[in-house]
């Protein structure tokens, strides 16, 4: 487990500096500070920051995009990298990202190259590889701006996909709570009401349901624990690969998943291609970045083929298992001619896939909206069937 340590130290210029870093234990934290050519004065474990960052394993994508864009502009304007890092971190709200920027600032101030400092601070390997490649050519500012644009596109796609999940999750959570509340609060009161009515007759199915609700109330603690466990089990199933595989059999969901993943992957491919990173290394890094298992497998195969050096990139992408429409489109883009044209074509492909995601997301959102209204209507009807309607039927039976 990575903990957050806050420290006070004297740097090689004799200045007192304060900072924070990620480390598995105190010994590792002390060793990291010594590598900065600094004399440690005070070191303490920050439980608040550790807990805060534990819940977030990754940087906020939109903030990371803003960080890269801001740093890129400042570096291009001649700002020193440690200064650019410090000034950029002042506006960051994501605690994990803020600490990582502080670590990178301390290391670059101690003379570490920016790409190495970012790698040690926990930035994505792809980003570090691109910065390392471009800083040797003196193009650090331009690659940071490109990364910012890339993450902005990824954040937009991510938000669209999340929007498809949040609304159904909210409605089904509400329905689940309503059923528990009706069982615990409404049905016992209605049962007492009927018990006071002489000659009240209830339909058989209502009596059976009320009996089950009575058993639940008689063992409320155990029943509630099992009810909550059922919700946890459902959430686990929805997050499991099995549910993803079932959802992937529905054509519209498969198309949405494929296009959103490929839009992000080929945008990243174009950015790394522009940074002159070796093609087999690009494929290796994208195999880790892919969300879909079939895309991970395809990029692993692409890495192996390209590493062998026996097949050209445009031919290799057609042999590794990408969907036919992706393989042909990428092959055409890679055959566009010079590097500038290839990069432009790959970015156009990514943008087109992003537009497809918009169309599909709108279609899925409309379907989900209609389905949710039907489900909520059925839930309200079910609540009425066990509360209001039995009272009406019992009253009518006495007329």
pLDDT at 200: 63
pLDDT, one tens digit per residue, over 13-68 is 778 888 888 888 888 888 888 888 788 888 888 888 888 887 777 888 899 999 99
**Long-range pairs for 308-313 at CB < 8 Å and ≥24 separation?**
313/279
Q: Which residue matches tokens 């290799």?
A: 316
**Domains of the chain with bracketed CATH:** 3-54 (no CATH), 61-106+113-153 (1.20.81), 154-399 (no CATH)
Indicate the average pLDDT of the chain.
84
Q: What mean pLDDT do residues 210-223 have? A: 85
- Residue 182: pLDDT band with limits 50, 70, 90: confident
Specify the pLDDT at position 316.
Answer: 92
Q: Are 75 and 144 in contact (CB under 8 A)?
A: yes
Residue 137: is its pLDDT beyond 70? no
Q: How far apart are CA 350 and CA 5, in angstroms?
A: 40
Number of Cβ within 10 Å of residue 204's Cβ equals 8
User: For 185-193, what is the mean pLDDT?
Assistant: 77
Helix (H) or strand (E) holding 386: helix 339-386
Q: What are phi and psi of 290, to 5 degrees?
A: -65, 145
Q: Where are the alpha helices (DSSP H) in 136-219?
A: 140-181, 187-195, 204-218
Task: Quote the CA–CA distance of 51 and 48 in Å, as a whole number.
Answer: 5
The confidence score (pLDDT) of residue 101 equals 92
Mean pLDDT of 366-380: 81
Q: Which two tokens stand for residue 279?
A: 């093609």
| CB neighbour list of residue 353: distance below 8 Å, 6 or more residues apart | 259, 260, 262, 263, 266
- The whole-number pLDDT of residue 67 equals 93
Banded model confidence at residue 202, pLDDT cuts 50, 70, 90 = low
**Beta bridge mates, 5:** 21, 45
Which pair of structure tokens corresponds to residue 170? 């909210």
Read off the pTM.
0.68
Length of the chain: 399
Residue with tokens 């304007």: 77
pLDDT digits (tens, 9 = 90+) for 287-343: 888 888 899 999 999 999 999 888 888 899 999 999 999 999 999 999 887 888 999
């Amino acid at each position: 487990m990575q903990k957050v340590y806050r420290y006070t130290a004297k740097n090689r210029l004799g200045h007192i500096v304060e900072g924070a870093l990620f480390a598995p234990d105190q010994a590792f934290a002390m060793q990291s500070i010594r590598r900065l050519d600094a004399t440690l004065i005070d070191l303490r474990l920050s439980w608040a920051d550790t807990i805060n960052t534990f819940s977030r394993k990754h940087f906020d994508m939109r903030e990371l995009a803003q960080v890269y864009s801001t740093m890129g502009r400042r570096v291009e304007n001649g700002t020193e990298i440690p200064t650019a890092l410090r000034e950029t971190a002042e506006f960051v709200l994501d605690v994990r990202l803020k600490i990582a920027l502080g670590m990178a600032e301390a290391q670059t101030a101690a003379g570490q190259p920016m790409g190495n400092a970012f790698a040690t601070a926990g930035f994505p390997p792809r980003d570090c590889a691109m910065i390392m490649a471009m800083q040797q050519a003196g193009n650090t500012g331009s690659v940071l701006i490109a990364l910012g644009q890339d993450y902005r596109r990824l954040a937009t796609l991510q938000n669209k996909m999340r929007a498809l999940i949040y609304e159904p999750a909210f409605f089904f959570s509400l329905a689940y709570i309503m059923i528990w509340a009706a069982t615990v609060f409404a049905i016992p009161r209605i049962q007492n009401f009927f018990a006071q009515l002489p000659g009240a007759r209830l339909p058989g199915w209502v009596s059976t349901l009320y009996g089950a609700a009575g058993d639940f109330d008689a063992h409320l603690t155990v029943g509630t624990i099992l009810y909550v466990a059922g919700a946890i089990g459902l959430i686990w199933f929805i997050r499991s690969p099995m549910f993803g595989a079932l959802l992937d059999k529905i054509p519209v969901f498969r198309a949405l998943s494929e296009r959103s993943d490929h839009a992000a992957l080929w945008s990243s491919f174009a950015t790394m291609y522009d940074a002159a990173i070796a093609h087999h290394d690009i494929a290796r890094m994208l195999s880790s970045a892919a969300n879909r298992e079939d895309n991970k497998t395809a990029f692993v195969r692409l890495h192996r083929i390209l590493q062998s050096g026996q097949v050209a990139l445009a031919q290799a992408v057609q042999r590794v298992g990408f969907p036919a429409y992706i393989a042909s489109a990428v092959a055409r883009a890679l055959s566009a001619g010079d590097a500038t044209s290839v990069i432009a074509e790959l970015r156009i492909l990514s943008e087109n896939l992003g537009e497809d995601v918009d169309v599909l997301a709108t279609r899925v959102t409309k379907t989900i909206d209609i389905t949710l209204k039907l489900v909520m209507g059925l839930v309200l009807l079910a609540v009425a069937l066990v509360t209001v309607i039995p009272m009406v039927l019992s009253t009518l039976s006495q007329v």
